[in-house]
Structure 1
Amino acid sequence: MANKQVEIIVYGAEQLCPSCVNLPSSKETFEWLEAAVVRKFPDQPFKISYVDIYNPPAEEGKASFARQVIEEDMFYPVVLIEGEVVGEGNPRLKTIFAEMEKHGYGA
């Protein structure tokens, strides 16, 4: 059982990144990811938030990473767990689940 609530942040934008044409939108990925994590780790709280890279919140950490996604031409959505990049463009559930398990989450 996780001893602290992990934060998952999905950075993305309304428009798809140029090389992500056939992939789901950032928002769709966010919703799909949230549902998948809830199914995989029931009764284990976590926090998930979506950050629009072109309209980030005032919170400095999130705003500065949003700039980094744009400046470094990262494939979005970019998924972070506790500050670690665990997925870019087409995030894989297996990788995300493995990172959650490192933080004490158990299926």
Structure 2
Amino acid sequence: MANITLTVYGAEQICASCVGAPSSKDTYEWLQAAIARKYDTNGISYQYIDINASQEDEKHKAFVERIFEEDLFYPIVFVDDEMVAEGMPKLKNVYKELDERGLTQLQES
């Protein structure tokens, strides 16, 4: 069974270049629902990182600093340590990473 972590970095306020896009939190919830329709989700865990909150974890702290330094578009989606989306995520890219990591797809009825 896969042991995958999907991480979404984002903020309550929609990024200035992403007007009209859903919020990071909405994207985080949408991704969970979309993945649950296609995969057995027992092998996946989710985490949402608010880029405006102080970070205890050094890995998250360093990446949040990078978001601000490089003006990256958020939400930013990682599957494990692989960045799969910046700004509006495409499900195809997320699914590709999940497939490569061996997450089991649900059988179509």
When normalised by structure 2's length, the TM-score is: 0.90
* 2:85 aligned partner: 87
* 1:36 aligned partner: 34
My pick for the range that moved more, 6-15 or 37-46, is 37-46
**1:1-107 residue pairs with structure 2 within 5 A?**
3-107=1-105
Deviations for 1:36-92, whole angstroms, at most 9, x for unmatched residues? 111110254201110011114301111111111111111100001111110011000
Within 2, Cα distance between the matches of 1:91 and 1:21?
15
Structure 2 gaps of 5+ residues are none
What SS does the corresponding residue of 2:103 show, helix, strand or coil?
coil
User: Does the Cα contact within 8 Å between 2:2 and 2:103 map onto a contact in 1?
Assistant: no
Q: Percent identity?
A: 41
User: Does the Cα contact within 8 Å between 2:21 and 2:88 map onto a contact in 1?
Assistant: yes
Give aligned pairs, total.
105
Within 2, Cα distance between the matches of 1:70 and 1:84?
19
